[in-house]
Amino acid sequence: MSKKPLLVMAAGGTGGHMFPAQALAEQMLARGWRVKLSTDARGARYISGFPDAVEIEQISSATFARGGIAAKLLVPFRILGGIISAKVKMLSDKPTVVVGFGGYPSIPALSAAWILRRPRMIHEQNGVLGRVNQVFAKRVDAVACGIWPTPMPAGVQAFDTGNPVRAAVLEREGAPYIPPGDYPMSILVIGGSQGARILSDVVPGAITKLPEDILRNIRISHQARDEDGHRVAEFYSDHGIDADVRAFFDDIPSRMADAQLVISRAGASSIADISVIGRPSILIPYAVAAGDHQTANARGLVDAQAAVLIPESKLTIESLAENISAILTQDKAAVAMAAGARTVGRPNATGALVDMVEQLAQKAGHNA
């Protein structure tokens, strides 16, 4: 009996790196692969949705983005320690393929794979190559992109796979859209995997400015950061608005399918989910995201006239209320937006990524 091929995935930091890894794991297991995930403490918060068969390996976090000077000075040593321990593990595991999803937690596994010449690739979720992926783009066998085209360093050929979405999102692919009308309507408000303060500051006020006939029919699902949740819930309740406020919804796919409108940051997986399920959206890209990548991520939906983009600098209670009201009072236009979103959706992204992994394995002489 031949040994199962082994995929090692390296992802962590934010949900944005973890959800595409989860989607890939789901399908690689179904293809008979063993799957290991190397992640940090922040990534570990998102492993509950991963299939049980995925073997989890927690590595110590290392990032220059947070912490004091002392912590930052330690980062190179932590990374070096991580690379050495990844190399030791890789010498015995001999992974068939290693895939990095970007961010600092992908450095140890990708570096070890590079040193040991194991087949390796990266997946970039955003329309701008992240810092870690920039370093590895020339040191891997293949580069997959979630947004197309994403500018690459000279000499790097990339492949357009799209951004993988989880199985629970695929189950709602093309779920019928109920246009806005004189009946209960839902608005879903999401700020990426960690919530966004600006949405808690502006959305509730904008909702109260909606015309009375919309207001009496509206139900809000609002993801707010832990520290903002109480005031947001209290505001909605003081204004008699039916709202469910939580730090994280585990059932986003069904809430999104039920929504007449999604108000969201433009993180890669949020955009991918909105596109595959197909819902009208108002997008507020995170202004300080590296290389303004959230604006690049939003481009596809905006070009398909499926989304309205409001830059943070233009976001006011009034501008948001106007845009919400315009979408919820024009049912035909809302239906066209939902259909436009679907044209951008990439339900086969995970399959394309799986094919890349298996081609890499075959090229390296492993008959997966």
Ligand X SMILES: CC(=O)N[C@H]1[C@@H](OP(=O)(O)OP(=O)(O)OC[C@H]2O[C@@H](n3ccc(=O)[nH]c3=O)[C@H](O)[C@@H]2O)O[C@H](CO)[C@@H](O)[C@@H]1O
| Shorter beta-carbon distance to ligand X: residue 90 or 349 | 349
| Shorter beta-carbon distance to ligand X: residue 189 or 214 | 189
At residue 187, what are phi and psi to the nearest 5 degrees?
-120, 130
Please, what is the minimum distance in Å from the beta carbon of residue 169 to ligand X? 7
Dihedral sign, CA of 258, 347, 97, 17?
Answer: negative
133 annotated ligand-binding residue: no
Q: State the residue for tokens 């595409």.
A: 20
348 annotated ligand-binding residue: no
| Tokens coding 119 | 């087949």
278 annotated ligand-binding residue: no
Please, what is the minimum distance in Å from the beta carbon of residue 155 to ligand X? 24
| Tokens coding 84 | 């050495």
| Shorter beta-carbon distance to ligand X: residue 59 or 165 | 165
200 annotated ligand-binding residue: no
Chain Cα centroid distance, residue 118: 27
Residue 334 CA to residue 290 CA, distance in Å, equals: 31
Exposure string (b/e) for 74-102, b if CB count within 10 Å is 16 or more?
Answer: ebeebbeebbebbbebbeebebbbbbbbb
Grouping H, G, I as helix, E, B as strand and the rest as coil, residue 267 is: coil
How buried is residue 360: exposed, middle or buried, by Cβ count under 10 Å (0-12/13-18/19+)? Answer: buried
Which stretches of the chain bind ligand X, using CB under 6 A? Answer: 14-17, 19, 102, 125-126, 190, 192-194, 223, 248-249, 252, 267-270, 273, 286, 289, 293-294, 297
195 annotated ligand-binding residue: no
| Tokens coding 86 | 């990844």
- In terms of Cα–Cα distance, which of 229, 175, 174, 168 is closest to 204? 229
| Shorter beta-carbon distance to ligand X: residue 26 or 273 | 273
126 annotated ligand-binding residue: yes
Alpha-carbon separation of residue 221 from 191, 195, 200, 233, 249 (angstroms): 12, 12, 12, 10, 9
| Shorter beta-carbon distance to ligand X: residue 89 or 255 | 255
295 annotated ligand-binding residue: no
- For the annotated binding site, the residues are 14-16, 126, 166, 193, 294
